[in-house]
Chains A and B, each alone.
Chain A
Amino acid sequence: MQQEVRNRKRKDLIFALAGLFSLVFAICTLLVLVLDLWTTGFGRIDYNFLTSFPSRFPAKAGILSAWVGSLCVMLVTAFVAIPIGIAAGVYLEEYAPKNWLTTIIELNITNLAGIPSITFGLMALGLFVYKLQLGQSILTAGLTLALLILPIIIVTTRESIRAIPGTIREAAYAMGASKWQMIQHHLLPYSAGGIITGVIISLSRAIGETAPLITIGALTFIAFLPTSPILHEAPFISFQWLKDSFTVLPIQMFNWVSRPQAEFHVNAAATGLILLLLTLVMNGIAIAIRYRFRKKIKW
């Protein structure tokens, strides 16, 4: 009897140790990666690095066109993916009839979230670049990444809505609310925390995507900025920038890594560090938002 208990306890201990070891291993690997980037790249980050175009001379080169490009592409992505993703999620959860067609669509959306991103690049090349003639532009890149993160936004929207108890819906309906009133007054506000978190996390994924953008033909060397969206004469606003070619942070980094000179590798590390910090900050904001909403609304 005692022997038996001791045996079981030993197994318990072995498992706990194995788990601890895996955890330490994972965290150490991550730390080493970050530290390596930090020691190599941090010293290179200064005002000039952020405000210079890429150059043949590593010491003069900067990431101005890359971060502006990333920003523009993310703007398009967010502008397209957020409304469509939320609307699709709400539709699937609240309006879609529960039949086999809906089930197939739901299954496929979940599958889409797991498809290699380069596949989206190929599809975008065929559809946006060749068929719709949108060019190898910021618009094409934004749309491609929007497609890539759309499934994530749809899925998180649905999950956040589903977390709202049925009793709350019934309470709203019992007060005479229409379906849209119920969605507008209750479902969307109460699920906003989860939805915003999902949106930020998906954008932080999109900002690091490289493969699909290379596939649609993003350039690796861009020494100009997109056209300004503000004009000095009527109509004062221009969308020409959507049609401009572009580069983004991870592509710039990729370009520098593939150069033979070690100085360019330092530039790459600095860019990588900035990208990493951006992602961390975005995820941090997401966690903060989720925490605030959790505190505000308890079911």
Chain B
Amino acid sequence: MSEVRKPRDPVTGHIKALAKGFKYLIEPNRMTLDYPAETMKLPPNYRGFFTVDDVKCIGCSMCEMVCPPEAITMVPRIVGSGGKTLPAESAPQDQKAAKRTKRPVVNWGKCIFCYFCVDVCPVDAFRPTGVHDVAFYTDREYRPTYEEYLNPPEDPYKSSKKVVSKADKKRGVSYEPAP
């Protein structure tokens, strides 16, 4: 025999809930930001879009190996003057003369911003850009070429009011203009 359920009090719970809702209606305690007009100023290493330093990178492919969703592709490059790399197609006819190397490119559609690649890189070649919210309008924009990847997306909300969050005993969280 199944256990007999005690009937719940059908009245007080409803009244309590309605009273609480009404209290919040007359004394709203807003916690969200007026988003595109105000944006959070985030700490400098907050995980967002990042780019690679073409000169620093040694092409070891550690980042490609560690990336959990396999968002990184290593593209073939050749070393040019001053440590900068050139596209592999521009290699001189004399194949021996070209010093071959590889450079990482991130597919933003796959990247989960875990920053494993940044941590694993032996020469600290990755550099966070401080840009976090970007909307891509076409599928193509998700998959930059290496040259595009060197210039990561710009912050679309540069002109919005920057705020920082602060713990507040009474309200939970409050915002004040960023210093």
Partners in one complex: no
Q: Could you list which residues of chain B lie within 8 angstroms of chain A, going by C-beta atoms?
A: none
